[in-house]
Amino acid sequence: MQAYPVRIRAALQVMQAAGVPRQMQAPLMYRLLWRTGLVVPPPVLAGFVANAVLMGAMFGLGWGGLMWLLFARGALLSGVGVLGAAGVAGLLFGGAMALLMRWQQQRYRLPAWGEIRAADGG
């Protein structure tokens, strides 16, 4: 946790005090981003749109890549079909995850990301 930016460490302390499970506090992708110095809010503290876009884009890219490998290379599905299906899957997954993170934020009575302040005022 010491390699993370100060504001991230403060957010992790708030979530730990609220009893949020460790896996929900800091998923792998976020830990990697934080280690590079990027201050990306943890998903349970991020806003609805931020979660929907980030999680939807990541899922859509992965799902589209998998569909391309399995179906499009053998001409079972066109490139446009892969893009359309990946886009719809990303929208649905991103929206569902954003709703889940909003519910978890309310469940644990967590503040919004904008309310998290580091001890040094950062």
- Whether 30 is covered by a domain: the verdict is yes
Quick check: 51 and 112 in contact, CB under 8 A?
A: no
Q: What confidence score (pLDDT) does residue 79 get? A: 75
Q: Tell me: the pLDDT tens digits for 11-58?
A: 999 999 999 999 999 999 899 989 998 889 999 999 999 999 999 999
| 122 domain residue, yes or no | no
Q: Report if residue 120 sits inside a domain.
A: no
In a domain, 88, yes or no: yes
Average pLDDT, the chain: 89
Phi, psi of 78 (to 5 degrees): -75, 165
Is residue 34 situated within a structural domain? yes
Q: Count the domains in the chain.
A: 1
Which domain range does residue 52 map to?
Answer: 6-115
Say if pTM beats, i.e. exceeds, 0.85: no
